[in-house]
Amino acid sequence: TGGSYRTIQRFFHTQIDWASVQWRFFERFVFRPDTVYLLAGDESIVSKSGKHTHGMGWFFSSILNTAIPGLAFFSIAIIDVTSRRAYPLSTQQVIRSEEEKEQTRKRKQKRKCKAPKRPPGRPKGSKNKQKADLPLSPELQRILLQGQAVMNLIRDKLSVTYFVLDGHFGNAFATAMVRQMGLHILSKMAHNAQLYQPPTPEQKAQHPRLKYGTRIDYQHLPATLLVARTTEAGYCTEVYQASCLHKHFADLINVVIIVRTHLESGRAGHVVLFSSDLRLDAVTLIDYYALRFQIEFTFRDAKQYFGLEDFMGVKAVSIQNAVGLSFFLVNLSRYLLEALRLSYPGAGVHDLKAFYRARHYIAAVLKCIPEKAGLISYSDLIEQVCRPGLIHPKQNGQTELEFAA
């Protein structure tokens, strides 16, 4: 864009409300009132070396399957259910408090040392706890504040019902956090989660104080819970749905169990999805949870194309600006690609960069042409110059491109 390096330095050290910037862009160019939207949240790790970068610490990388030195960012994105794309809205750096670090150390020690087995029965003097008032961990408190800020930003324009999170948040504490935001959670439980059906009238008649009915046996699921069965490519997929109780949850939860069986060998595996919305049907719940992965593509694009993996800032403000700019370019590129793909189906970020780089060069060349050189078809010339740099060929029968400068 031009300007001196000092101008760039001033930009990166300026306080910018990136959540408002992202929302204004989404509201102006992407938002459609007739579309269903979800919120999704996830954490991304950026590897870093050195000791002076703000927020530097050790974070678990799922790609490398180990803890690495670097920075962590929690991102909340809006997912368009119709176009099946995610648009980053709020990204905050994860700064762990001393309390959170101490909890992590205790969990590691607990895994290493086997605790003595507790005798059966309820310990003497223990009291009932209110499951609805679960204490939130420092991590969940941080996400709650970020989520509430997002809801305050979009509430007047956008109606959202569900917050989609990965299996790390498939517990009662995260559910309580999402409910405080005024949303319903969509997440995944552990494969061996202890779920119970509500007691039947016959069971209540025999045991009036019974709270939990029959426990869910994942190896022998009741046929009455089956809602769908499909067979494809040698696999049988069965979908079960039920309103279940869990001893850590205050209320009933909507549970969907997907069982996939290899017909030849008989081997089977299952996944347990759940939501706090009891009215959500199984097909929609599965589809919404599958859309959660779209936020991973925003991380990929930000790292691969827009500098999230290799920015050089060390101060808190410069880091936030580098990250905010990366995710803003993700949103901008997705908006521009919709127009480019009308003539070049399958075009990606590389094609977009090639097109606008050529556009920049040809515009500079045209400025050097004398005024009396005659009329030049600007749009046709731009497309001819841009075409050699594109990966995907132009589709026949399409009209010429018209892009905003």
Split at pLDDT 50, 70, 90, the class of 311 is confident
> What type of residue is 46?
V
pLDDT confidence of residue 404: 45
Is-contact 86 298, C-beta < 8 A?
yes
Structure confidence by residue, pLDDT tens digits, 43-84: 999 998 878 889 888 888 888 888 889 999 999 999 999 999
Distance between CA atoms of residues 351 and 183, nearest Å: 38
Q: What is the mean pLDDT of residues 135-158?
A: 93
The Cα–Cα gap between 117 and 349 comes to 56
Range of 123-132, 262-271, 305-314 with top mean pLDDT: 262-271
**pLDDT score of 131:** 67
In Å, what is the CA distance from 184 to each residue of 225, 255, 278, 296, 318?
Answer: 23, 13, 10, 21, 35
pLDDT band at 405 (very low <50, low <70, confident <90, very high): very low
pLDDT in the model for residue 301: 94
Q: Looking at per-residue confidence, does 315 or 113 come out higher?
A: 315
CB 330 within 8 A of CB 306: yes
pLDDT digits (tens, 9 = 90+) for 199-226: 999 998 999 889 999 999 999 999 999 9
Average pLDDT value for residue range 6-24? 92
d(CA 322, CA 16): 11
Q: Is the pLDDT of residue 31 over 80?
A: yes
Range of lowest pLDDT (241-245, 340-344, 369-373): 369-373
pLDDT at 397 exceeding the cut of 60: no
pLDDT band at 32 (very low <50, low <70, confident <90, very high): very high
Task: Output the pLDDT for position 135.
Answer: 86
Strands 57-61 and 85-93, by their bridges, are unpaired
- Take residue 384 and report the two structure tokens written for it: 């001819």
**95-134 pLDDT tens trace:** 987 777 777 777 767 666 666 677 777 777 777 666 667 7
Query: What integer best gives the mean pLDDT of the chain?
Result: 87
The percentage of the chain sitting over the pLDDT mark of 90, rounded to a whole number, equals 59
Q: Strand (E) positions, 94-176?
A: 162-164
State whether the Cα torsion 180-186-187-192 is positive or negative: positive
- pLDDT score of 373: 52
**pLDDT above 80 for 243:** yes
Residue 390 CA to residue 215 CA, distance in Å, equals: 58
**Position 368, amino acid:** C
Please tell me the predicted confidence (pLDDT) of residue 232: 92
At 7 the pLDDT is 85
Q: For the whole model, what pTM was predicted? A: 0.85
Tally the C-alpha atoms within 13 A of residue 295's C-alpha that lie toward its C-beta.
26
**pLDDT at residue 403, rounded to an integer:** 47
> Which pLDDT score, from 0 to 100, does residue 74 have?
96
